[in-house]
Amino acid sequence: MEGTKRYAAVLSLTEVGLGSMLHSFHVPLAGHALSLNQGAILTFALKRAPSWRHAVEGSAAISMAAAGMKTFSPAGKRLTPMLGITVQGLLYALGVSLGGRGLAGVLLGMALLSVWAFAQSVLLAWIIFGKELFLSIRDLWLNVAEKLGVPTEWGVWLLVLAVGSKLTCALVVGMMSWVAAPEREERYIAGLTERITRGMKKMVAPDPGGGAGDGAALALRDLLRPWFVASFAVSVGCFAAFRGGDAEAVIVYGGRVLFLGWLAFWAMRWGAARWRIWGFR
C-alpha cells in the first residue's frame, strides 16, 4: 500500500508539474512522452507489488490518483489528460492481468497503453467534427499524393509508421524499466522530481475559477486553438467543395462544428472543476 502511494505521488507530481510546463509551451509530442513516463512508473510499481492482484489493482489505483490530482494543474489542459491518464492506467492493468506479473505482462501493458494517445485524439475529433473531417483528410491526401506523384498507399504506411514508432518506444521503455536496478530507478525518480520542482517554482498558477460563466468564456477561447482552427478549415473547406457551392449547407455544417467544439471544450473545463470540488473538497 505504501509503495502504491509513493508511485502515485511521483506520477501525480509528474503530470501536474511536468505536464503543465510541456503543455504551456506547446511542446510537440508532449502527451506521448508523458504516457511513456507513466508506463515506466507503473512498471517500477509493478516490480515491488507482492502479488499479481496487487500489481493489477496498483496500476489502476496509481493512475486514477494521478488523474484526480491533475485537476490542480496550474496551466494547460486538464480533463483530456485526466481521461488519458486513467484509461492508459486501466489498459496497462489489463495487459498485466492478461500477461501476468512478469515481462510479458509489462510489454503487453505498455503496448496497450501506447496506442491510447492516438485513439483518444481520433475519438475527440470524431465527436466534434464527425466523419466529414476524416473524409476531408482522406481527399486532401489523395490530392496531395497526386500532385507529388507518390502512391496513395503511403498515407496508410505513414500512419502505421507513427503508431509503430510509439509502440516500439513503449516496448523499449517497458523493457528498460523492468530490468532497471533499484539504484537506477531511484536516480530516475530523484532526477525527475528535482527537475519538476525547479521548473514549478518558475510558474505562476492562475486563478482556476471553475464557474460555469468562466468555463463558457474560456471554451470560446479554446476554439482558437491552432489544431481546432486547422481542422475546422480543412473539414469545412472540403465540405463546401463537395457540396458544390451550397452555402446554406456549409453554414449549417460550420455552425454545428463550432457549437459541438464549444460544448466539448466547456464540458472538459466544467468536468475538471467539478472533479476538483467533489473529489478533493
CA distances 136 to 169, 238, 241, Å, are 30, 6, 10
Is 233 within a domain? no
Per-residue pLDDT at 200: 57
- The reply to whether 52 falls in a domain is yes
Q: Determine the pLDDT at residue 92.
A: 96
For range 261-272, the mean pLDDT: 68
- Burial of 215-245, coded b for 16+ CB within 10 Å and e otherwise, reads beeebeebeeeeebeebbebbbebbbeeeee
Extract the C-alpha cell encoding 170. 513503449
Q: Which are the contacts of 104, defined by CB distance < 8 A and separation ≥ 6?
A: none
Whole-number pLDDT of residue 245 = 59
Higher-pLDDT residue of 17, 75? 17
60: left (phi over 0), alpha (psi -120 to 50) or beta: alpha
pTM of the model: 0.69
Q: Is 145 inside any structural domain?
A: no
- Average pLDDT over every residue of 189-193: 84
pLDDT tens-place string over residues 127-146: 777 777 777 778 777 877 78
Instruction: Please give the residue range of the domain that contains residue 101.
Output: 2-115+169-206
The answer to whether residue 26 sits within a structural domain is yes
Task: Quick: pLDDT tens for 214-255.
Answer: 567 767 777 776 667 776 776 777 667 666 656 777 777 778
In-domain check, residue 84: yes
Half-sphere exposure of 73 (CA within 13 A, CB side): 30
Q: Which residue matches cell numbers 501506447?
A: 114
- Does 225 fall in a domain? no
Longest alpha-carbon distance in the chain: 66
Considering its fold, how many domains does the chain have in total? 1
Per-chain mean pLDDT for the chain: 78
* Structural domain contains residue 66: yes
Cell of residue 109, nine digits: 501493458
Nearest to 227, CA basis, from 21, 31, 58: 31
Exposure b/e, 24-43, CB count within 10 A at least 16 = b:
eeeeeebbbbbbbbbbbbbb
**CA-CA distance, 73 to 56, in Å (whole number)?**
27
- Asked whether residue 199 is assigned to any structural domain, the reply reads yes
